[in-house]
């Protein structure tokens, strides 16, 4: 499975292409069966969903979750839109990494800067507000 952001982006792009190609073949077979034009969008999404589910995505999903991105587990209603959004987020991540000085990476969910924020004491006014809301 891809380990770098660029490899993950390449894997996402190839997945999106494969899903689109397979969905096009399915839609061509269904063309005569779609009775109303208003069903065409739903039929296209269904074709994309069926094509998407024919791939083993467990390793890809783990890598996406590790980066704080969608695990692609709940994309039934908008398959291509979700794949495009994840691809766009990965593109931004890769371009940010390319702009960083060599040897440095953009901060991630488990970066030292974020871990140090978790250790900061809670301001007293926040603690009082939390206690008040808990007593209601």
83 in Cβ contact with 19 (< 8 Å): yes
pLDDT of residue 100: 67
User: What would the pLDDT profile of 28-44 be if each residue is shown by its tens digit?
Assistant: 988 888 778 888 889 99
> For the chain, which residues make up each domain, given as ranges?
5-111
Instruction: Give this prediction's pTM.
Output: 0.69
User: What would the pLDDT profile of 62-84 be if each residue is shown by its tens digit?
Assistant: 999 999 898 888 888 899 999 99
Instruction: Say how far residue 126 (Cα) sits from the centre of its chain.
Output: 33
Secondary structure of residue 5 in the 3-state scheme: helix
pLDDT of residue 136: 46
Q: Which two tokens stand for residue 34?
A: 């779609």
Q: Which residue has the tokens 């074709």?
A: 47
User: What would the pLDDT profile of 5-26 be if each residue is shown by its tens digit?
Assistant: 999 999 999 999 999 999 999 9
């Amino acid at each position: 499975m891809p380990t770098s952001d660029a490899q993950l982006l390449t894997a996402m792009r190839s997945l999106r292409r494969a899903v689109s190609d397979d969905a096009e073949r399915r839609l061509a077979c269904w063309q005569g069966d779609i009775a109303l034009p208003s069903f065409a969008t739903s039929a296209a999404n269904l074709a994309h969903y069926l094509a998407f589910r024919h791939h083993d995505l467990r390793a890809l999903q783990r890598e996406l979750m590790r980066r704080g991105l969608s695990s692609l587990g709940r994309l039934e209603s908008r398959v291509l839109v979700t794949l495009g959004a994840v691809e766009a987020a990965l593109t931004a991540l890769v371009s940010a990494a390319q702009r960083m000085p060599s040897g440095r990476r953009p901060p991630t969910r488990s970066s030292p800067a974020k871990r140090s924020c978790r250790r900061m004491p809670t301001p007293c006014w926040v603690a009082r507000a939390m206690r008040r809301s808990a007593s209601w």
